[in-house]
A and B are shown apart, each in its own frame.
Chain A
């Protein structure tokens, strides 16, 4: 065999098996010495804008705990949960992972997360807002340490549209009935402008004091006469323009009638962070907007759709140290620093009591929104029912609501169908 052939052959074989090297189990090269441990710490997309802040926390922690080395990995993009799920199947599992609360609901039934309350003292959880801890507790197991969130929703209205429709912008709607009535008047007067994109979501039902499940949590009960009447209000609103025609869109990030394009008059519950987008995309619209207390029902509770948390996988080799580090990252001091960098809300009560939140000058609409959010923050809860396939069931419910709005079903038929489906799943 000629030399060329041998060389080619070797190259070919190398080409075949080189990729397989990547699959080899990675032995821990940094063979830990006795008590020295390394914690792999995952955040979602924070390195670019808040790299110094996170690195600062890591450095401080390592200084205070010389036996702990933190390996910080910033996972880019929205696929963080999928990457985490993939990592859980491998041998290399991160120890402290930033995960959205919605993703905890998705994976909680597989028992892959360490209950935080078994890793830390109960009193160490005292600084966190009760409602948030409750929202992350399933069957007495706290599956995540609450971190930051976008803040509770606020109400917003376009003052120019209100004035053109003969309504008083200084007297914003306080109930769903009022907001739908105003929307109807506006659409009658200005046919191109709609009321809002609000739908009777589960969060709205909860805020309205309408129950989703029975006391035992075993059956869905959201098809009572009160529920039907409440949903019918929105169905009627969809017909008369109080609810925007594009509100039935599957993706709520791609609504058709928005403040930006001037076709939306108001909204009962919306994250204040949307104001940043409006300021960027439609700067001329922002001065026309006014924020007000979110529309809620008699309960006055505001349900957050989700919050960022830290979880500790069961496969972590150092779960207690991992939980301790997560507590450090989310402590009141560190959260206060974080909230000063970006318009987010903390999960610790003490942070909210700082003058940064209680005593600030209201200079613009963002500050106004922040003032409202601080006022209602103690009433926060996470909209989590703690049932299997929760997101899937909520999606099914919303699909039925859309069917009712589009006139494919009556409100009663839609709610009955959803309840029947829920009960079928709950009985499994």
Chain B
């Protein structure tokens, strides 16, 4: 009997404890998340959903949006300028990405040495990253001027150059890409530097004892360890090239003859110069899908960022 009572009272106390636990559901963290959720929803998710709706409408800001179904997407399929902008993004990718994925590695190896004043060089290489793109783009416009420093240098080394780099349909894209790569290089150098410093010292020591040459150490020890870093830089650089805007806006305005037009710049022109918001948002959605796919690839390659750590 007594045993039974004890059993019952234990059961009851367990139930009470459970209830209490249930009652004590900790909602505080969620409340603290609320401001961020409200702000993100108001300024990020709702506008995104709105944009998705507007992409199916003809909308010129001043007149109410009119539902046109897939019309904007159909127009896009036949819009030469859209395809040209997309093709240009591919060209930017082919020129910029190899430059920002490979060259910064050598820069990182260079500044990874323990020599006097190395911080100064790190600073120099990183300086373009923190300089405003507008200022950089204007400066590079002068370099590319027909009588600018680039042509002067080429003439100096005996190459007769009168190229109008930014106003020639063949040279404009490489010219803008080089500036973009130059500006971003310091950033990727820093990522590689972090990667290099994370490479196990023991491995390098062991390789040295085994008589490996510095080149062999680089190829067989450093590079395999840096593989995840490569993946991240590759995808980040790709994302960057798809979103190129400021440099093109300042240096060429998309010209000559749309040869440097990028998708973001075209969207900007349609939306804010011609006020064709419906079509612009439709292109924005396509750009968003492209970026999402690239981001997912990024996530998969870097395994959610784990392998980088």
Contacts and interface: CB of A to CB of B under 8 A. Distances in A.
B243 interface: no
B255 interface: yes
B253 A251 contact: yes
Interface residues of A, number: 37
Interface string A97-128: 00000000011001010000000000000000
Given A19-B39, A256-B164, A402 B255 contact: yes
A12 B256 contact: no
Contacts of B167: 245-246, 248-249, 256, 406
B31 interface: yes
Size class of B's contact patch? 20 to 34
Given A16-B38, A110-B60, A402 B257 contact: yes
Interface string B247-266: 00000111111100000000
A107 B39 CA distance: 32
B179 to A, nearest CB: 15
Interface stretch (A82-90, A131-139, A344-352): A82-90
Contacts of A29: none
Interface in B83-110: none
Contacts of A16: 34-35, 38
Contacts, number: 75
Given A85-B62, A402-B255, A403-B257, A254 B164 contact: no
B58 to A, nearest CB: 12
A71 interface: no
A256 B62 CA distance: 38
Contact of B31 (A12, A82, A250, A254): A12
A245 B168 CA distance: 10
Contact of A107 (B28, B62, B256): B62
Nearest to B27: A9
Given A19-B39, A82-B272, A246-B164, A88 B255 contact: no
Interface in A53-83: 82
Contacts of B252: 250
Nearest to A261: B147
Contact of A392 (B31, B256, B274): B274
Contact of B35 (A15, A88, A254): A15
A118 B261 CA distance: 44
Interface string A1-44: 00001001100110111011000000000000000000000000
6 contacts: A12-B34, A246-B146, A246-B167, A248-B256, A249-B167, A402-B257
For the complex of A and B, the 10 pairs showing the least CB-CB separation, nearest first, are: A250-B253, A110-B62, A250-B255, A15-B35, A16-B38, A251-B253, A110-B63, A245-B164, A16-B35, A403-B257
Interface of B: 28, 31-32, 34-35, 38-39, 42, 60-63, 141, 145-147, 164, 166-167, 169, 252-258, 272-275
Interface of A: 5, 8-9, 12-13, 15-17, 19-20, 82, 85, 88-89, 106-107, 110, 112, 192, 245-246, 248-251, 254, 256, 261, 263, 389, 391-392, 399, 402-403, 406, 408
